[in-house]
Amino acid sequence: MFNRLSIIIGGPQGAGLETSAQILTYSLAYLRYGVISDREYFSNIKGRHSYVHFNISSEQIPTSLTYPVQLIAALDHETVFTHFDSLEEGGVITYDVFTEEKTLDTTPSMEEDLKIRLRKIFKELGIDGSIKSLVRYISEDKKIHSVPLNYSEIINEAAKKLVLPASQAARYVSSIIIGAVSGLTNVKKKAIEYSLARRFYDRPELAQQNKVIVETVYDKVVREHGPILELAPSKLNHREMMIVSGNDIVAMAKTVGGVRFQSYYPITPAADESFTIESYEKLEVDGLEIGSILVLQTEDEIAAITSAIGAALTGARASTSTSGPGFSLMVEGLGWAGMNEAPVVITYYQRGGPSTGLPTRGSQSDLLFTLYASHGEFPRIVLASGDHLEAFYDAIEAFNLAERYQTPVIHLLDKFLANSIVTLPVPDLSNINIDRGLIIHNGGADYKRFNLSTTISPRAFIGSNCIMWYTGDEHNELGHIDEDPENREKMYRKRMEKIKIADEEIPEEKRLTYYGPEDADVLLVGWGFVKGVALDALKTLAVKGIRTAYLHIRMFSPFPSKSVEKLLERFDKSKVITVEHNYLAQAGKAILINTGVRITKEVVKYTGRPIYLNELVDGVLKILKGEDRVVLTYGP
Amino acid sequence: MARKPSDYQSDIWNDWCPGCGDFGIVAAMYRAFSELDLPPEKTVIVSGIGCSGKTPHFVKVNGVHTLHGRAIPFATGIKLANPELTVIVNGGDGDLLGIGVGHFVALGRRNIDLTIILHNNTVYGLTKGQASPTLRRGLRPKALPKPNIQDAVNPVSLALASGFTFVARGYSMMTEHLKELIKEAIQHKGAALIDVLQPCVTYDNIHTVEYYKKRVYKLEDTGWNPKVEKIEEKEEKIVKAWMKSQEYDDKIPIGVFYQDPHTPSFEERIKERIPSYLETPPARQKIEREGKTIIDSEAFRKIFSYYIVETE
Ligand SMILES: Cc1ncc(C[n+]2csc(CCOP(=O)(O)OP(=O)(O)O)c2C)c(N)n1
Ligand code: SF4
Ligand SMILES: [Mg+2]
């Protein structure tokens, strides 16, 4: 029995893989397993290869993905070609027997680069390159257990049972994957039934039809192969689990945090967040409305940020959500918010750049951009979350900080987080505070929006009982244009000093976390989605006798300079390593700028795929052997 | 006691060039505001960048002087977050029809209850006289090194094509007439455009006061009925108005070209989905109770039950 399993399910985009992944995750959560899954896909709607990579545990909620995997469930032959070498010895592959004669030449959707690499491998292995030859090779040489299934037979059988035309039953082909995975891992049928009913709550006939396929396959694999990868019963004892993507959890957090105006222009991987908020536009509890949220799809990201700022001026908590190309368009608006001390939240899901880059793949290459975007100087707060739970709390805190310091807040996330689905205990809401900052409801006739008597001026809302002016030009206390040098100096300083106040008020321990033994020898430094894999790497490295710690940075502006500097001092310079999803090791640069300390060792990855535990551990070992920089590339 | 026009005048010295058409626009605004007795704290002027962009500083109501081309989306956020506000946009022709034209079109599609006052001076005033999108091809106002080789966009035609439900043209030197248009536009429930012919005395030596004096005539004097009386008439009226908008050479019509009170405003469309929207819009909702979120653990579980699995 397995306490931990890594699984890949793969198939063409648009074939229902996402639904299968969702149902499997629900089923695993129902049985109290911890799950994290990453979805990898092309910028394409139908036909290109996509896959979901799961890490399942009976002992904890896993935080990272790793290779090799124990099971590959292939909806098509491209999946077999793409992933066969990710299998662990003794692992299992299930695939469609109908594809056995397929070769790379009959796989037009595959990119040529991979075909070239594979042809070379096949030649070296001396195989003809058909699926059949490949499966035979891995069965014999890598002791892979193959579970061939006849997909069309299964579909026809199910169609007969359901009295449906085969063409309609064929639409549920991805349920074969659910049946195979659950049969092989001994996920109970009851759990699958529960998940199907949940997923298709509004269309019970679909639940029923899919169930027939799942059970046919389930019974078949158990009968013919047994539950080869049987999961050990879970030791976790949650009564309830949430199943959420990063987009989902941020949408929920904004709702809790009181967002009332959310604008967006569609972009991967941010748009789903806005859709989720929109589906909760009426916040109802027991049929009673406790609030509502206006979600506005704008004509572009310029309108997204400027309309959000406009809403913020009237006192609504307002945010927009985007990715790199969209943020590039927002930059001028960001500066206006900085100049006018407007509290607006920008949720920023990084993806591979520059330009359109890798639109559906992950990246952390926009840190320096967000820290300095827009002309002129103005304070901004930049938060970066490392996992779903952090993202939840940070998304709420972003509004508090924006209103407290009257600045734009950028909440940095990434595609890895946006699209990875995890099981998660329901977050504790009891410690969440809503801090609206200095608000004046009774500004009256003498109100001055930019009153210089305090660094953070009391903020009245447009529509309250006073009037006020705002302008992107330098302005006086009233908000009228003013180019006087003395006024300029005072106003400029007033704005800039807000970040100093934030720096004094926000405890540094909230801006970073140190994980691992106090007397560690090696220090990994990272941010964002690196957190999960870094934490797992600490454990793996500890087993190898390397005492490692991880410094997780959660706020880059204001930067927790003192703590970072102090921490870095404790370590031998050759054993401090930044781990990042970018080329420049940008957090390392931010540390250098803020503390003067240069980190010279780096493990970076910019292929758009997440950093996997196995490669991170290898990378750290290489650095400890003397390398300065390791570039990771694992994962198809 | 009703507010006087002078009550709306701010203390800021007006730095437009002496004789600029913008003075006529702001004067018409003071008078319109006064006649409508708009409460200054519930009124917002949103502007872009340009000579026209300075308008809010000269008026004693809330003023939001934004970015070049972006007054409409700023105003959109303000209005939708607090629909009880009267929101007016002042923008240049470069601002609204050049850099910001996408927002202009989007506003028409939404029909938000905003009044757009377009300062149409055929030039980029504040950057010293370059051609604006309303400058016709072949013309060469004095700052241009060469005649303009881009065609002009017609604001009235574009507004009609975009879905604006109130489309008018005014002339800054006829402040009484312009004042009436502003009042009507503000009272109209939906997106309203007033294309204001505004002589730029410094850079536009073509479209001068004399130029307009010879050409401008009032639509209402010709018996023009802009109003879509019944929704069935919409198509016919919009076509007529569009044809009329093409008249722009020897004679230039001013007045209301088109008014459709039937197409629902964006606010009404939102209300269809969120019935409480107008009573408790985003800006007027309470989001905390003694510093705590109004969504407690129990409410959270109920709202987001879709995401929560009760384990076996
Ligand atoms: C993004 C951006 N580009 C360019 C400018 C420079 N700029 C300032 S005003 C202006 C044009 C103003 O022309 P118009 O909108 O017609 O207003 P007017 O001055 O004629 O009233 C330009 C291009 C700017 N402020 N912002
Ligand atoms: S440049 Fe033209 S538009 Fe600008 S203030 Fe002077 S006259 Fe008016
Ligand atoms: Mg102009």
Work out the average pLDDT over B97-102.
98
Work out the average pLDDT over A164-176.
90
φ/ψ of A527, rounded to 5, equals -160, 170
Banded pLDDT at B168 (limits 50, 70, 90):
very high
Please report whether residue A233 resides in a domain.
no
Question: Which residue of chain B comes nearest to A465, CA vs CA?
Answer: B41
Question: Based on the structure, what is the number of domains in chain B?
Answer: 1
How many Å apart are CA B25 and CA B172, to the nearest integer? 5
> Would you call A314 and B276 a contact, using CB atoms and an 8 Å cutoff?
no
Residues A188 and A275 in one domain: no
Work out the average pLDDT over B30-51.
98
Alpha helix locations (H) across A478-570?
A: 485-505, 508-511, 530-543, 561-569
> Would you call A462 and B78 a contact, using CB atoms and an 8 Å cutoff?
yes
Please report whether residue A229 resides in a domain.
no
Question: Which residue of chain B comes nearest to A470, CA vs CA?
Answer: B64
| pLDDT above 90 (res B252) | yes
Please report whether residue B99 resides in a domain.
yes
Which of A30, A310, A464 shows the shortest C-beta gap to B77?
A310
Give the DSSP H/E element, type plus range, for residue A249.
Answer: helix A246-257
Lowest mean pLDDT among A60-64, A171-175, A568-572: A171-175
Work out the average pLDDT over A196-201.
94
Pocket lining: B34 vs ligand 1, CB cutoff 6 Å: no
CA nearest B157: which of B260, B265, B244?
B244
Question: Which residue of chain B comes nearest to A434, CA vs CA?
Answer: B291
- How far is the centre of ligand 3, averaged over its atoms, from the C-alpha of B123 (Å)? 4
Pocket lining: B93 vs ligand 1, CB cutoff 6 Å: yes
Centroid of chain to Cα A72: 23
Nearest-CA distance A201 → chain B (Å): 10
Give the contacts of A434 (CB within 8 A, at least 6 positions apart): A257, A258, A399, A400, B287, B288, B291, B292, B293
Mutate to test the pocket of ligand 2, among B13, B15, B22, B58 (most ligand atoms within 8 A of CB): B22
What is the torsion angle, in degrees rounded to the nearest 10, for the CA atoms of residue B156, residue B160, residue B165 and residue B171? 10
Please report whether residue B103 resides in a domain.
yes
Q: Which atom of ligand 1 is nearest to the CA of B48?
A: 15
Question: Which residue of chain A comes nearest to B77, CA vs CA?
Answer: A307
Residues A136 and A273 in one domain: no
Work out the average pLDDT over B97-124.
98
Residues A156 and A54 in one domain: yes
Banded pLDDT at A169 (limits 50, 70, 90):
confident
Residue with CA nearest ligand 2 atom 2: B200
Please report whether residue A617 resides in a domain.
yes
Tokens 């002589």 map to which residue? B199
Residues A339 and A484 in one domain: no
CA nearest B95: which of B62, B46, B44?
B46
| pLDDT above 80 (res B201) | yes
Residues A414 and A442 in one domain: no
Per the prediction, chain B carries an average pLDDT of 98
Residues A204 and A79 in one domain: yes
Work out the average pLDDT over A275-300.
97
Which of B277, B291, B294 shows the shortest C-beta gap to A290?
B294
Q: Give pLDDT, residue A170.
A: 87
| Cα-trace Rg, chain B | 22
Pocket lining: B125 vs ligand 1, CB cutoff 6 Å: yes
Please report whether residue A627 resides in a domain.
yes
Pocket lining: B118 vs ligand 1, CB cutoff 6 Å: no
Contact B273, A281 (CB under 8 A): yes
Q: Give pLDDT, residue A168.
A: 87
Please report whether residue B193 resides in a domain.
yes
Chain B positions touching A29 (Cβ under 8 A) are 309, 311
Residues A489 and A526 in one domain: no
Residues A218 and A279 in one domain: no
Terminal C-alpha separation, chain B: 71
Nearest-CA distance A240 → chain B (Å): 4
How many Å apart are CA B240 and CA A225, to the nearest integer? 77
Work out the average pLDDT over A109-119.
98
Look up the CATH number of the domain holding residue A287: 3.40.50.970
Q: Give pLDDT, residue A539.
A: 97
* Domain final position from A478, A506, A534: A506
Residue with CA nearest ligand 2 atom 6: B17
Work out the average pLDDT over A367-396.
98
* Domain final position from A170, A190, A224: A224
Mutate to test the interface with B, among A199, A290, A299 (most CBs of B within 10 A): A299
Chain A positions touching B62 (Cβ under 8 A) are 462-463, 467-469
Please report whether residue A90 resides in a domain.
yes
Please report whether residue A255 resides in a domain.
yes
> Would you call A306 and B67 a contact, using CB atoms and an 8 Å cutoff?
yes
SS3 A360: strand
Centroid of chain to Cα A374: 26
How many Å apart are CA A57 and CA A418, to the nearest integer? 21
Chain B positions touching A239 (Cβ under 8 A) are 310-311
> Would you call A472 and B65 a contact, using CB atoms and an 8 Å cutoff?
yes
Nearest-CA distance A318 → chain B (Å): 9
Nearest-CA distance B261 → chain A (Å): 23
Which of B63, B65, B311 shows the shortest C-beta gap to A238?
B311
Per the prediction, chain A carries an average pLDDT of 97
- Taking phi first (over 0 means left), then psi (-120 to 50 degrees means alpha), and beta for anything else, what does residue A315 get? left
Residues A502 and A514 in one domain: no
- How far is the centre of ligand 3, averaged over its atoms, from the C-alpha of A531 (Å)? 52
Which of B73, B105, B292 shows the shortest C-beta gap to A434?
B292
Contact A469, A313 (CB under 8 A): no
Terminal C-alpha separation, chain A: 28
| pLDDT above 70 (res B75) | yes
Q: What is the DSSP string of chain B?
A: -PPPGGGGB-SSPP-SPTT-THHHHHHHHHHHHHHHT--GGGEEEEE-SSTGGGGGGGBSSEEEE--TT-HHHHHHHHHHH-TTSEEEEEEEHHIIIIITHHHHHHHHHHT-S-EEEEEE-SEETTTTSEEPTTSPTT---TT-SS---SPPP-HHHHHHHHT-SEEEEEETT-HHHHHHHHHHHHHSSS-EEEEEE---TTT-SSS-HHHHHHHEEEGGGGT---B--SGGGHHHHHHHHHHHHT--SS-EEEEEEEE-S-SPPHHHHHHHHSTTTTTS-GGG---EETTEESS-HHHHHHHTGGGEEE--
> Would you call A29 and B292 a contact, using CB atoms and an 8 Å cutoff?
no
Residue with CA nearest ligand 1 atom 2: B68
Nearest-CA distance B131 → chain A (Å): 24
Contact A399, A356 (CB under 8 A): no
Please report whether residue B220 resides in a domain.
yes
Pocket lining: B49 vs ligand 1, CB cutoff 6 Å: yes
* Domain final position from A461, A480, A506: A506
Banded pLDDT at B9 (limits 50, 70, 90):
very high
The residues pairing with B23 across neighbouring beta strands, listed in sequence order, are none
Residues A560 and A416 in one domain: no
> Would you call A310 and B75 a contact, using CB atoms and an 8 Å cutoff?
yes
CA nearest A387: which of A224, A530, A239, A281?
A530
Work out the average pLDDT over A396-421.
98
Question: Based on the structure, what is the number of domains in chain A?
Answer: 4
Banded pLDDT at A414 (limits 50, 70, 90):
very high
Q: How far is CA A1 from CA A143, A233, A234, B227, in A?
A: 18, 9, 11, 78
* pLDDT tens figures, B143-162: 999 999 999 999 999 999 99
> Would you call A435 and B73 a contact, using CB atoms and an 8 Å cutoff?
no
Cα–Cα–Cα angle for A272, A278, A282, rounded to 5 degrees:
150
> Would you call B81 and A316 a contact, using CB atoms and an 8 Å cutoff?
yes
Residues A358 and A474 in one domain: no
φ/ψ of B263, rounded to 5, equals -60, 130
> Would you call A26 and B309 a contact, using CB atoms and an 8 Å cutoff?
yes
Q: Give pLDDT, residue B106.
A: 98
Tokens 């926009």 map to which residue? A366
* pLDDT tens figures, A15-59: 999 999 999 999 999 999 999 999 999 999 999 999 999 999 999
| pLDDT above 70 (res A451) | yes
Q: Give pLDDT, residue B1.
A: 66
Please report whether residue A433 resides in a domain.
no
- Beta strand B292-293 with B288-289 is antiparallel
> Would you call A292 and B291 a contact, using CB atoms and an 8 Å cutoff?
no
Look up the CATH number of the domain holding residue B33: 3.40.50.970
- How far is the centre of ligand 1, averaged over its atoms, from the C-alpha of B50 (Å)? 5
* pLDDT tens figures, A525-568: 999 999 999 999 999 999 999 999 999 999 999 999 999 999 99
- Residue span of the structural domain in which B238 resides: 5-269
Nearest-CA distance A110 → chain B (Å): 35
Q: Which ligand is nearest to the CA of B121?
A: 3
Which of A243, A291, A309 shows the shortest C-beta gap to B287?
A291
Please report whether residue B296 resides in a domain.
no
Please report whether residue B218 resides in a domain.
yes
Please report whether residue A53 resides in a domain.
yes
Give the contacts of A492 (CB within 8 A, at least 6 positions apart): A377, A474
Work out the average pLDDT over A397-406.
98
Contact A228, A190 (CB under 8 A): no
How many Å apart are CA B2 and CA A581, to the nearest integer? 63
ipTM reported for the complex surpasses 0.90? yes
Residue with CA nearest ligand 2 atom 8: B20
Cβ-based contacts under 8 A for chains A and B: 250
- Residue span of the structural domain in which A407 resides: 243-425
Chain A positions touching B101 (Cβ under 8 A) are none
The percent of residues above 70 in pLDDT, for chain B, comes to: 100
Residues A485 and A516 in one domain: no
The percent of residues above 70 in pLDDT, for chain A, comes to: 100
Mutate to test the pocket of ligand 2, among B47, B202, B204, B209 (most ligand atoms within 8 A of CB): B202
